[in-house]
Amino acid sequence: MPRFAANLTLMYAEHRFADRFAAAAADGFDAVECLFPYELTADELAEHLRRHGLIQVLFNLPPGDWGAGERGLAALPGREAEFAASVVSALPYACTSGCRQLHALAGLIPVGATAADRDAMRRTYVSNLRHAARMLAQHDITLLIEPISTPSMPGYFLNYQQQAHDLVAEVAEPNLRVQMDLYHCQIMEGDLASRLRRHLDGVGHIQIAGVPGRHEPDTGEINYPFLFDLLDELGYAGHVGCEYRPRAGTSAGLGWWHRASGR
């Protein structure tokens, strides 16, 4: 059975962020992920993990001005220096916490962008990813890119699995891999089992949520027990991030996880 990581940005929202580590550990999780850990210091993050016996498996590089609607910098021409600075800002958190995977959000395509604008974004994305991957390789850290569904993030630059794997091939750095969120993949493409078989060798991290609704992965149109068995069959050794919004209290909705993990 896959190893699961609680997403502390979406799960345990009934607690303040600093208290979610304890809540996840109390429910039996031994690994966590989050979008952004930066409201804590790097030392505080490491202490929460140590105190509660948790592994931090993933977080995102700083995304630009999230509150103003920015969704990453990696593909934005003219923002290269800010993107490089975001890698530098994230490194102390990764190194101090022992986190070995960082996700680089690509950013949004401007309204009215032309084909030439999109080509410039792709060139910027490839160059920035190559630079960041080389920087992170010095610390044995893997860089991830994630296709995100258009209903969840309208205008996002990266939406499809093959698109992401083609970019990884173009960047050609061994520590760049794809973050495959089965929620987004189902919405954009479907055929999840075939896509897992086709792409898993290039996947560094998997995430899950129920479709529709992005709630617990226990009802809806995705047969997660089947996919968990398939991940075992295919030899997936990474974590599965539980990036979903609980319908009510997080702990009350963990029946699916207890059944899947035997805990």
Q: Which positions are catalytic?
A: 146, 243
Task: Please list, in sequence order, all residues whose beta carbon lies within 8 angstroms of the beta carbon of residue 179, skipping any fewer than 6 positions away.
Answer: 58, 103, 144, 145, 146, 203, 204, 205, 206, 207
Q: How many residues in total does the chain contain? A: 263
Backbone dihedral angles phi then psi of residue 63, each to the nearest 5 degrees: -100, 15
CA contacts within 13 A on the Cβ side of 142 = 18
Chain mean position to CA 226: 22
CA contacts within 13 A on the Cβ side of 136 = 32
SS3 state of residue 234: helix
Q: Is residue 57 within a helix (H) or strand (E), and if so which, with residue range?
A: strand 55-60
The distance between the two most distant Cα atoms of the chain, rounded to a whole number of Å, is: 52
Quick count: other Cβ atoms within 10 Å of Cβ 92? 14
